[in-house]
Amino acid sequence: MKAKIITLPGDGIGPEVTGEAVRVLQTIAQQFGHEFTFTERLMGGCSIDRYGVALTDETLADCKGSDAVLLGAVGGPKWDDPMAKVRPEQGILALRKGLRVFANLRPVKPHPALFDASPLKPERLAGVDVLVLRELTGGLYFGLKSREQTASGVRAVDTLEYYDYEIQRVVELAFRLAAGRRGKVTSVDKANILESSRLWRQTAAAIGAAHPEVALEHMLVDTASMRLIASPASFDVLVTENMFGDILTDEASVLAGSMGMLPSASLGSGGPGVYEPIHGSAPDIAGKGIANPVGAILSAALLLRHSLRLEREAVAIEAAVDAAIAGGCRTADLGGKLTTRQMADEIISRL
């Protein structure tokens, strides 16, 4: 198989972990007889420094013409002024909008060998295998925004807006994925307060009625945030709106012991997907060669599975990661001493 992959390493540790994910994909291509071409482009703070914008039209066009996009992380203290008109995060939002990806998938499955790395008791982690779907195109992040001086003080407004079709497509995807897993969808909202959440719950209920083979439960976001810690194994597929998903998936990362362990996939209805670890650019450890590359490497596995439809190759990467972890391989975030490159070497040696 031939595939064109655009890499957007970004800022901080982004280039370090993305480089290791590319090495893993190159190994897969060699072993399974594929031809992957990698083209690197700038996005985030590095793009602001070079071009004055977080994502250029040319880079977005390259991404649209690819089979998949592998992303590192963006941002850092250099660009961290919240009042700045141009910020690294604008590149991510523009990329998602430009590629029309509407669902962010974040699998959370703690490895038994890493139970001690989580602040939760091991018995709470047994059997945890959660897939969180976060809607990416609506909500507060994309609603109308304003700031004005009034007689009472400065007034800031962010508008939470959803169309029914935006809810439908991500919830339908949740049901399709749940059908191939344990057959349960938890739809998370704030329907007791928010009109947008009432539309969300109504839409989810209608889709659930059309898929009786999959169990559906509705849950308020505050309850879900508690349940993720108190009984995470009770979840199968969890689907929710943009901001709730952003917060809940970061909370869920503690189940795996480190944010460095978790991958993600942002998918649309046919174009290239975007694959990235859930962690940030971690400027405090950038350049030290100690970042955990597992999240980026597992994101590469998701790329193979969802964009290239190479399930056997995706499973090979995930099995190699499992074997490395079971064999005691650890980076600093997990209490170990392996460098970024050494951790990737251990995974590659097990492919």
pLDDT tens-digit map of 216-240: 999 999 999 999 999 999 999 999 9
Q: What pLDDT score does 259 carry? A: 84
Average pLDDT over residues 255-269: 91
Please confirm, yes or no, whether 222 is among the known catalytic residues: yes
Given the residues 4, 51, 141, 322, the one annotated as active site: 141
Q: What pLDDT score does 116 carry? A: 87
Please confirm, yes or no, whether 189 is among the known catalytic residues: no
**Do 8 and 93 sit in the same domain of this protein?**
yes
**Per the structure, how many domains does the chain have?**
2
Please confirm, yes or no, whether 129 is among the known catalytic residues: no
Q: What pLDDT score does 108 carry? A: 93
> For residue 244, which amino acid is it?
F
pLDDT band at 82 (very low <50, low <70, confident <90, very high): confident
The answer to whether residues 197 and 252 touch, using CB atoms and an 8 Å cutoff, is: no
Given the residues 49, 80, 81, 222, the one annotated as active site: 222
CA angle 349, 11, 310 (to 5 degrees): 40
> What single string gives the DSSP state of each residue in 32-85?
HT-EEEEEE---SHHHHHHHSSSS-HHHHHHHHTSSEEEEEE---GGG--TT-S
Distance (Å, rounded) from C-alpha 120 to C-alpha 328? Answer: 20
Average pLDDT over residues 189-199: 98
- Mean pLDDT, the chain, rounded, equals 96
Residue 289 lies in a domain: yes
- CATH code, domain carrying 66: 3.40.718.10
Given the residues 11, 67, 190, 275, the one annotated as active site: 190
Please confirm, yes or no, whether 116 is among the known catalytic residues: no
The domain in which residue 140 lies consists of 119-256
Residue 111 lies in a domain: no
Q: How far is CA 189 from CA 208, 242, 256, 293, in A?
A: 15, 11, 24, 33
Given the residues 158, 246, 322, 345, the one annotated as active site: 246
Which residues contact residue 128 at a Cβ distance below 8 angstroms, ignoring those fewer than 6 apart? 108, 109, 110, 232, 233, 255
Look-up: residue for tokens 């795996």? Answer: 256
**Do 140 and 244 sit in the same domain of this protein?**
yes
Q: What pLDDT score does 117 carry? A: 85
The answer to whether residues 135 and 103 touch, using CB atoms and an 8 Å cutoff, is: yes
Residue 113 lies in a domain: no
Residue 112 lies in a domain: no
Which residues contact residue 35 at a Cβ distance below 8 angstroms, ignoring those fewer than 6 apart? 1, 2, 3, 29
Domain boundary among the residues 256, 291, 310 is at 256
Q: Which contiguous run of DSSP H or E holds residue 266?
A: strand 263-267
The answer to whether residues 123 and 230 touch, using CB atoms and an 8 Å cutoff, is: no
**Do 335 and 224 sit in the same domain of this protein?**
no
Residue 314 lies in a domain: yes
Look-up: residue for tokens 């969802």? Answer: 306
CA angle 321, 324, 329 (to 5 degrees): 125
Average pLDDT over residues 136-146: 91
Q: How far is CA 286 from CA 22, 45, 75, 126, 290, in A?
A: 18, 14, 12, 33, 8
**Do 128 and 243 sit in the same domain of this protein?**
yes
**Do 197 and 270 sit in the same domain of this protein?**
no
Looking at the DSSP bridge assignments, the partners of residue 186 are: 217, 238
> For residue 89, which amino acid is it?
E
DSSP state of 198: H
> For residue 87, which amino acid is it?
R
Please confirm, yes or no, whether 81 is among the known catalytic residues: no
**Do 292 and 222 sit in the same domain of this protein?**
no
Residue 95 lies in a domain: yes
**90 in helix, strand or coil?**
helix
**Do 276 and 350 sit in the same domain of this protein?**
yes
Q: Which of 106, 190, 77 is nearest to 140 (CA)?
A: 190
**Do 133 and 248 sit in the same domain of this protein?**
yes
